[in-house]
Structure 1
Amino acid sequence: MKTNRKVEMTDRRCDKLDGPDASSAAKEIEYSDVRVPRLKLMVSRSGRRTWYWRYVWRNAKEVIRIGEFPGINVEQARRIAMEYGAQVDQGIDPKGEKKARMTMPTLEEFALNQYLPYAFVHKRSADDDAAKLRMYILPKMGKKLLCDITRHDVDMHRTAILKTHSKSTANRHHALIARMLALAVEWDILKLNPVVGLRKFRETADRGRYLAPEEIAKLLKALDSDDNVVGAAALKVLLFTGCRREEIAQARWENLDVERGLLKLPKTKSGKVRWVPLSPQAQEVIANLPDIQSEWIFPGRDPSRPINNLYKPFHRALRLAGIETAQDGKTGGGVRIHDLRHSFASNAVTAGLSLYTVQALLGHSTPTMTQRYAAFAGNTLHDAVALAAKTMLGAVEPVEA
């Protein structure tokens, strides 16, 4: 009996192929598919049927197991064999690729075991990354192997985020996934980053929502009654200083100069160290904080870590004050935490402070970002332009006829 036969494979025919008889020295018979080169079906003496594909890699004969029939039928075996053939044509060893897949982590495994431990050491906004992963990204894509995540997957995820969030939030999800995949390439886990070349959504200029003085008074009163005393205090300091949320959330006692009323920000958005002058109101808030043994001025429930979630006390206070909220990062008429910074700046300009001074208070590296508050100067700018015009006209000599 021959041990290698060519067959026009069909599921019905494969089911009836014979293995070696009891008197044969062969342990199995190899049948070759006439349609797909080097696709083999091995039939053992016990009747077990297993698909294999033979190929040549770097002048050496290789064989890779596809799986058992009928779990993998003829059409599936042919498709897999042709995919292996395409890999060889592209200079990829399918056996090495299969082995790599067996050790490839899922997105969830990579995020929890490698990315987040790295991010908490190197990135100030690691808490935000952890929240995005836990609440949105991992429930959708966490079980996918890292190598199976496609540009389409990322595009569909950020498009879904866009239905309930702003373009800037969708872009931050895009950036987080792209950064994770880029690190996987750097760490020799992936060969290519599929997100490279995927353009972010074009964001429209967001001037934010500015709280009027009467709204600020209502908000402060609402914060006074909130059960989260530390969170409410952090929100007040944000309003009284114009700092960014993370700058205050990450503030440490060692960086507070009580005598001079200054707070040192060792890590800012620009990457530069900055000293923030604290108003008497901000100093009073900090002085009245509950006595909690922590290195952080505003500790979280776990005193060994800084406060993370200011959204809950903020939204509670807004509702109590009768001010519309902007939930989940959506833009519009509602108020967001970052709008406390906008409100500080707009009121500072309205009070007569120069844009240059406001730029320094906000820590803007260029006047471009500060320029958005020029419209709030009101009569100050009108008086200035009138003075400039008067001076200019007074300096012009009348023209003789």
Structure 2
Amino acid sequence: MGHWLTDSLVKAIPQPSSGNRITYDDGPKAVKGFGVRVTAGGSRSFILNYRTRTGRERRYTIGQYPDWKTAAARTEAKELKKTIDQGIDPLAKIAADRAQKSISDLCKKFMEESKETNREGTADGYQGQIDNWILPILKSHTLVVDVEPEDIQSLHRKVSKDGGLYVANRVVALVSHMFNRAIVWNGSKRDKGWALINPTKGVERNPEQGRERYVDTKDELARLLKALKEHDDRQAVDIIKLTLLTGCRKSEALRARWDQFKFIDGEQGPEGTWTKLSHHTKQKKLHHTPLSAPALQLIGELRTAAEAKAKATDKEVSQWVFPGRVGGGEQPREGIKRPWQEIRTAAKISDVRIHDLRHSFASILASRGNSLQIIGKLLGHTNPLTTNRYAHVFVDPLREAANRVGDVVEGRPQAETSEER
């Protein structure tokens, strides 16, 4: 049943006892498929029935009366029919728009993946950058597809000003990583609405000077050892000592477990080795590293003390080498920020980070003439380029070797080597 629709007619159409009833536009100037739907509750909405190019029947709701007047709704129906004739499906476009993901969605999904694939410390670092910079500046409600390179450049400038040049580069690198993942997700048939391009491409980064801070073995190391000896937090001191003696990362020391250390030869490894589990190492691979005599002594003393404490309290030994003080040792210690601050202040090396102790371990090896291959093995590097940062430390041993050749050529007496003895 059809009528030439007017406001007065739309208002006068009786509501059905149940369901809904549609009255279509009719007459010489009527728009085919345009009508008004009246529900049993009295709601009146203008609609447009149409058929897509594939033959699928669809019904598009234009809007409710009286928010929409009949003439305006009819004009909108005419415009919709023009787009439909061009092969565009208005309902499909609405569905696609609703599927578009926001920056908040991107951050949430990325962190879900990150917690499964990265070390805990890495994931926590990502979350900090997201909370402190990415969400506040890019805005959580912004659609992923709407982010432009100009937005990323603005983000970079803001973080450079408020957080520092290095931090700004790391934040943009994280955003780039997130958008690369979003492009992959968008390729899934079941998960659309992510990104088609990476807006960080071409964004200018701040120039960086590689950090090469090592603990000076002539003076600074002596002050550090003295500060360690005098500090009250003995567990924190032992964590720092383990880092110094093995070149491990702070996170690896904090999450070290007793079953990773082998004190006797056996099927799982030779005597005096530390096997770091894959999800605790940066490269996600098992890393077997030999321990020096001082490192073995430290671990042995810690084990003896842990067993004595367990016996005195009638409890089992915690699985963690450095158990946390809360929760009865069921979780590892979370950090040593305050004691490390106090220790390095006492040692007058306030610019040294915990991670610099790892660099110091490598620099000592290099300065003693050990090859980059050996250094990389001990540090657990899988990429030789990572170890190459220590190549400059080889200057002194290389000069010493060159001087030996010079001594031979000039006929000067040679110091007896250990091989000659």
With the length of structure 1 as denominator, give the TM-score of the two structures: 0.67
CA distance in 1, matches of 2:5, 2:276: 77
Structure 2 match to 1:241: 246
Q: Do structure 1's residue 387 and structure 2's residue 404 form an aligned pair? A: yes
Partner residue of 1:372 out of 361, 372, 389 = 389
Correspondence 1:195-214 to 2 at 5 A: 195-196=197-198, 198-199=200-201, 204=208, 206-213=210-217, 214=219
Q: Do structure 1's residue 63 and structure 2's residue 23 form an aligned pair? A: no
Identity %: 24
**Residues 117-161 of structure 1: per-residue CA shift (max 9 Å, x gap):** 544333334343444444444555674376556355556545544
Partner residue of 1:22 out of 12, 16, 25 = 12
Q: Which amino acid aligns with 1:190?
A: K
The change in CA–CA distance for 1:355 and 1:53 in structure 2 (over 3 A counts) is: same
Q: Which amino acid aligns with 1:341?
A: R
Deviation at 1:368, TM superposition (A): 3.9
The change in CA–CA distance for 1:295 and 1:217 in structure 2 (over 3 A counts) is: same
Structure 1 match to 2:319: 295
The change in CA–CA distance for 1:3 and 1:130 in structure 2 (over 3 A counts) is: same
Structure 1 match to 2:273: 262
Structure 1 match to 2:116: 121
Given that 2:147 and 2:199 are in contact with CA atoms closer than 8 Å, whether structure 1 keeps it comes out as no
Q: Do structure 1's residue 181 and structure 2's residue 207 form an aligned pair? A: no
CA distance in 2, matches of 1:104, 1:228: 52
The change in CA–CA distance for 1:157 and 1:49 in structure 2 (over 3 A counts) is: farther
Given that 2:145 and 2:196 are in contact with CA atoms closer than 8 Å, whether structure 1 keeps it comes out as no
The change in CA–CA distance for 1:87 and 1:374 in structure 2 (over 3 A counts) is: farther
Deviation at 1:340, TM superposition (A): 1.8
Secondary structure at 1:288 match in 2: helix
Deviation at 1:254, TM superposition (A): 0.9
Q: List gaps (5 residues or longer) in structure 2.
A: 265-270, 311-316, 412-421
Q: State the structure with more CA Rg.
A: 2
**Residues 217-247 of structure 1: per-residue CA shift (max 9 Å, x gap):** 4445555666765455333322222223343
Secondary structure at 2:243 match in 1: helix
Given that 1:129 and 1:176 are in contact with CA atoms closer than 8 Å, whether structure 2 keeps it comes out as no
Correspondence 1:2-401 to 2 at 5 A: 3-4=3-4, 17-20=7-10, 22=12, 50=45, 55-57=50-52, 58-65=54-61, 67-68=63-64, 93-96=89-92, 98-99=94-95, 108=104, 115-124=110-119, 125-138=122-135, 143-144=140-141, 150-152=147-149, 156-157=154-155, 159-163=157-161, 164-165=163-164, 166=166, 169-178=170-179, 180-182=181-183, 184-185=185-186, 188-196=190-198, 198-199=200-201, 204=208, 206-213=210-217, 214-222=219-227, 230-259=235-264, 260-267=271-278, 268-286=281-299, 287-288=301-302, 291=306, 293-300=317-324, 301=326, 303-311=329-337, 313-324=339-350, 334-365=351-382, 367-377=384-394, 379-388=396-405
Q: C-alpha root-mean-square deviation of aligned residues, in Å?
A: 5.0
CA distance in 2, matches of 1:276, 1:96: 58
Secondary structure at 1:64 match in 2: strand
Structure 1 match to 2:418: none
Q: Which amino acid aligns with 1:65?
A: T
The change in CA–CA distance for 1:207 and 1:20 in structure 2 (over 3 A counts) is: closer
Given that 2:46 and 2:64 are in contact with CA atoms closer than 8 Å, whether structure 1 keeps it comes out as yes
Given that 1:210 and 1:346 are in contact with CA atoms closer than 8 Å, whether structure 2 keeps it comes out as yes
Secondary structure at 2:358 match in 1: helix
CA distance in 1, matches of 2:330, 2:377: 32
CA distance in 2, matches of 1:231, 1:94: 64
CA distance in 2, matches of 1:377, 1:80: 78
CA distance in 2, matches of 1:99, 1:48: 24
Pairs aligned (count): 368
CA distance in 1, matches of 2:236, 2:283: 25
The change in CA–CA distance for 1:154 and 1:22 in structure 2 (over 3 A counts) is: same
Q: Which amino acid aligns with 1:361?
A: L
Structure 1 match to 2:419: none
Deviation at 1:276, TM superposition (A): 2.0
Secondary structure at 1:383 match in 2: helix
Given that 2:24 and 2:33 are in contact with CA atoms closer than 8 Å, whether structure 1 keeps it comes out as no
Q: List gaps (5 residues or longer) in structure 1.
A: 7-16, 325-333, 395-401
Given that 1:20 and 1:28 are in contact with CA atoms closer than 8 Å, whether structure 2 keeps it comes out as no
Deviation at 1:256, TM superposition (A): 0.7
Given that 1:43 and 1:49 are in contact with CA atoms closer than 8 Å, whether structure 2 keeps it comes out as yes
Q: Which amino acid aligns with 1:254?
A: D
Given that 1:230 and 1:299 are in contact with CA atoms closer than 8 Å, whether structure 2 keeps it comes out as no
Given that 1:55 and 1:62 are in contact with CA atoms closer than 8 Å, whether structure 2 keeps it comes out as yes
CA distance in 2, matches of 1:52, 1:238: 71
With the length of structure 2 as denominator, give the TM-score of the two structures: 0.64
Structure 2 match to 1:397: none
Given that 1:49 and 1:68 are in contact with CA atoms closer than 8 Å, whether structure 2 keeps it comes out as yes
The change in CA–CA distance for 1:253 and 1:41 in structure 2 (over 3 A counts) is: farther
**Residues 17-53 of structure 1: per-residue CA shift (max 9 Å, x gap):** 5453537799788899xxxx99979597999775656
Q: Which amino acid aligns with 2:118?
A: K
Secondary structure at 1:63 match in 2: strand
